Structure 1
């Protein structure tokens, strides 16, 4: 992930195919913002290719290279020849929140452990290279407590900065809940202090 807190994610589902020694390999990659989404996608591919010999998979459901939310499966292939090489390819891809499923239709010729690892990892690498990408911006939740006299000017600031207003609560004072790019958190403190002459309270979510 770069210093701005943003990183590339899959823009849409993408699929590549290859035939290696008569075995057909179909690799499908997609966006996986969390493990549940990754597992749901794996299940959908299993349903689509229910007659396949294997549906091996791996996912990184977090920022690029992060190992906090990962998963993999060899789905009946020799241990370590499918899921692990696929996961390694994902972790080294600089792409975040991504799941890959590699479907194999066995063609009658054994590839050996090295051949299998190269086939499964190669499919993932090719799919990721060709896949459309979008930029994911890491946003933090921020709570602003303001006097009524400052609300209009702060709301104009929110629009100008393209921060996301998620909630407004009006009581003895006004609380605005916003989402801000992580790289702009320090600017929030300075800008709100300037807009409110130091009276605004800024609380950053964990």
Structure 2
């Protein structure tokens, strides 16, 4: 099943009983990048009462009510991300308290609506898992393999020259098996694959 992320950051603002809720949906690579974005949001809104958030990024999920009653902010925000089948996205809501208490149910609705508004009609792009493939080839095969790389639009991350030429190539995970077969064909079986690096997103 495809996984989707956002092509760019989105935001929306709601006013609910004198409180301002500003929802942000920001594409991020991982938890570290999400924490950097949260720091930036807090710097941009030093007077905000709360900055509540939820993150879906592969296995690096998380959420925070940031001082709101437990379960009234982070979880509702996370549920909206899940509903939209998004990954690699930080959703945050900046709240400026307006003096009127909303109660637990009102808070859940407010945080849900703030993120849902930011994501309304949001464009989505498929998030493709990438992996690195290492291949060892003879010097005589290098030009042929480099031409094939250009045709496939794969990224050559680095190359080392010793007894053989060792190339590290970045490509979608789904292309790995086909790439190994193609490289064996191109080199008449001489290509060797010492150890495939782990999958990344």
TM-score (norm 2): 0.90
Q: Give yes or no for the alignment of 1:196 onto 2:167.
A: no
Q: Give yes or no for the alignment of 1:95 onto 2:90.
A: no
Q: Deviations over 1:125-177 (max 9, x none)?
A: 22123445444321111111111111111111111111110111111111111
Query: How do 1:46-61 residues align onto structure 2 when only pairs under 5 Å count?
Result: 46-61=42-57
Aligned length, in residue pairs: 197
1:175 aligns to what SS in structure 2?
strand
1:113 shift after superposition: 0.9
Specify the alignment match of 2:35 in structure 1: 39
1:144 aligns to what SS in structure 2?
strand
Specify the alignment match of 1:75 in structure 2: 66
Matched-pair contact (CA < 8 Å) for 1:20–1:119: yes
Q: Give yes or no for the alignment of 1:154 onto 2:145.
A: yes
Matched-pair contact (CA < 8 Å) for 1:32–1:60: no
1:99 aligns to what SS in structure 2?
strand
1:182 shift after superposition: 0.8
Q: Give yes or no for the alignment of 1:25 onto 2:21.
A: yes
Q: In structure 2, how many angstroms separate the alpha carbons of the residues matched to 1:146 and 1:125? A: 51
Q: More displaced, 144-153 or 119-128?
A: 119-128
Q: More displaced, 148-157 or 134-143?
A: 134-143
Matched-pair contact (CA < 8 Å) for 1:55–1:104: yes
Specify the alignment match of 2:165 in structure 1: 174
Q: In structure 1, how many angstroms separate the alpha carbons of the residues matched to 2:128 and 2:65? A: 32
1:108 aligns to what SS in structure 2?
coil
Q: In structure 2, how many angstroms separate the alpha carbons of the residues matched to 1:19 and 1:120? A: 11
Q: More displaced, 121-130 or 187-196?
A: 121-130
1:22 shift after superposition: 2.1
Specify the alignment match of 2:136 in structure 1: 145
Q: Deviations over 1:67-105 (max 9, x none)?
A: x21121111111110011111222332121111221112
Match of 2:8 among 12, 21, 27: 12
Q: In structure 2, how many angstroms separate the alpha carbons of the residues matched to 1:134 and 1:27? A: 20
1:15 shift after superposition: 1.2
TM-score (norm 1): 0.88
Q: In structure 2, how many angstroms separate the alpha carbons of the residues matched to 1:92 and 1:103? A: 21
